């Protein structure tokens, strides 16, 4: 497998195919002749080089390129994968590279494709989008993309498929990504911890509403992960404390006082209603 590499192709409907090919260049370099390669191994990896693209982000881009450049019957190639080698792929006249490449070598990649007349539409960093003088079109949409590793990076695009246009500032594309970010935010799960778990946000909630609160050391145990979270691989974000009944009651009282300041009215059950509930439980 050492000299084999993988890359992907995708069609307009999002159906992916994995391609396995021989690596073209087998290096005869040694430590003495490949000093750059040797030094490379010790470089800290740039996190932007390892940001994987969520499917819905890729779909927006494929649809955008298709709308602007008509991808019907084109072979869409994604060459950039761990252990990949974009220079080993045979790009035919019918193919288009649409992918999120390692940003640290984006200029080198663009030049490689431009020199060979290979069509491309690539993700690139927003802030340095105009950083190199290459014969391509810069597509700026001021998009905050949240990649699979959770990093949100302002992203632009670069392409040689737009003829003489040098810069496209695309408000529609911006809007599409903004809507996606909003949808993703709304779908994030919200965690609610029981009264006996004290997090920094719970303390913040009280003091921001003018309610002081204090806990003794003997009433708290430092806590990183509840048993219920373990099977989901989750932890208490930022850690917290497991509280004694006394400390939990202190927090509940402070939270109730803070709720009042927030004009949150908690309707309590009457003794009569509690009696009805008891009867329901026993029936």
- Beta carbons within 8 Å of 5's beta carbon, 6+ residues apart: 20, 21, 22, 23, 83, 84, 85, 88
Q: Which residue minimizes CB distance to ligand SAM?
A: 84
Q: Which is nearer to ligand SAM, 40 or 164 (CB)?
A: 40
Selection from 209, 218, 191 nearest residue 255 by Cα? 209
| Beta carbons within 10 angstroms of residue 198's beta carbon | 23
Answer for which of 20, 22, 55, 82 binds ligand SAM (CB under 6 A) is 82
Q: Which is nearer to ligand SAM, 84 or 240 (CB)?
A: 84
Total binding residues for ligand SAM by CB under 6 A? 17
Selection from 3, 17, 2, 169 nearest residue 95 by Cα? 17
Selection from 139, 131, 15 nearest residue 69 by Cα? 139
Q: Which is nearer to ligand SAM, 80 or 205 (CB)?
A: 80
Whats the size of the chain, residue-wise? 283
Sites for ligand SAM among residues 101-130 (CB under 6 A)? 101-102
Interacting stretch for ligand SAM, rule CB under 6 A, among 68-76, 83-91, 113-121, 272-280? Answer: 83-91
- Write down the least CB distance from residue 22 to ligand SAM, Å: 14
Q: Which is nearer to ligand SAM, 111 or 209 (CB)?
A: 111
Answer for which of 78, 96, 173, 243 binds ligand SAM (CB under 6 A) is 78
- Write down the least CB distance from residue 54 to ligand SAM, Å: 8
51 interacts with ligand SAM by CB under 6 A: yes
- Write down the least CB distance from residue 261 to ligand SAM, Å: 46
53 interacts with ligand SAM by CB under 6 A: yes
Secondary structure (DSSP) of 38-93: HHHTTSPPPGGGGPPPPHHHHHHHHHHHHHHH--TTPEEEE---TT--GGGS---T
240 interacts with ligand SAM by CB under 6 A: no
Three-state secondary-structure class, residue 177: helix
Answer for which of 49, 144, 170, 195 binds ligand SAM (CB under 6 A) is 49
Yes or no: say if 29 and 40 are a contact pair by the CB < 8 Å rule.
Answer: no
C-alpha distances in angstroms, 86 versus 8, 21, 101, 202, 229?
11, 11, 10, 50, 41
- Write down the least CB distance from residue 158 to ligand SAM, Å: 14
Calculate the CA 206 to chain-centre distance: 32
Burial 245-275 (b: 16+ CB within 10 A, else e): eebbebbeebbeebbeeeeeeeeeeeeeeee
Interacting stretch for ligand SAM, rule CB under 6 A, among 36-44, 69-77, 81-89, 245-253? Answer: 81-89
Q: Which is nearer to ligand SAM, 83 or 131 (CB)?
A: 83
- Write down the least CB distance from residue 114 to ligand SAM, Å: 16
Interacting residue ranges for ligand SAM, rule: CB under 6 A: 49-53, 78-82, 84-86, 99-102
């Amino acid at each position: 497998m050492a000299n084999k590499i993988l890359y992907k192709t995708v069609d307009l409907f999002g159906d992916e195919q994995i391609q396995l090919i021989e690596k073209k260049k087998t290096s005869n370099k040694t430590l003495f002749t490949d000093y750059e390669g040797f030094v490379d191994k010790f470089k800290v990896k740039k996190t932007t080089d390892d940001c994987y693209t969520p499917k819905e982000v890729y779909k927006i881009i494929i649809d955008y390129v298709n709308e602007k450049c008509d991808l019907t019957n084109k072979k869409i190639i994604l060459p950039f994968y761990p252990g990949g080698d974009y220079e080993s792929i045979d790009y035919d006249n019918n193919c288009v590279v649409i992918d999120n490449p390692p940003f640290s070598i984006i200029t080198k990649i663009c030049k490689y494709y431009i020199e060979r007349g290979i069509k491309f539409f690539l993700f690139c960093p927003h802030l340095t989008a105009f950083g190199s003088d290459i014969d391509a079109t810069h597509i700026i949409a001021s998009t905050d993309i949240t990649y699979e590793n959770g990093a949100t990076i302002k992203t632009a695009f670069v392409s040689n498929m737009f003829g003489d246009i040098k810069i496209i500032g695309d408000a529609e594309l911006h809007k599409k990504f903004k809507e996606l970010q909003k949808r993703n935010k709304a779908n994030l799960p919200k965690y609610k911890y029981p009264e006996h778990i004290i997090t920094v946000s719970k303390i913040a909630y009280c003091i921001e509403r003018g309610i002081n609160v204090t806990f003794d050391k003997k009433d708290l145990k430092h806590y990183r992960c509840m048993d219920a979270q373990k099977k989901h691989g989750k932890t208490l974000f930022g850690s917290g404390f497991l509280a004694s009944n006394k400390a939990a009651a202190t927090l509940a009282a402070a939270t109730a006082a803070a709720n009042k300041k927030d004009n949150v009215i908690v309707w309590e059950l009457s003794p009569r209603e509690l009696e009805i509930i008891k009867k329901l439980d026993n029936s």
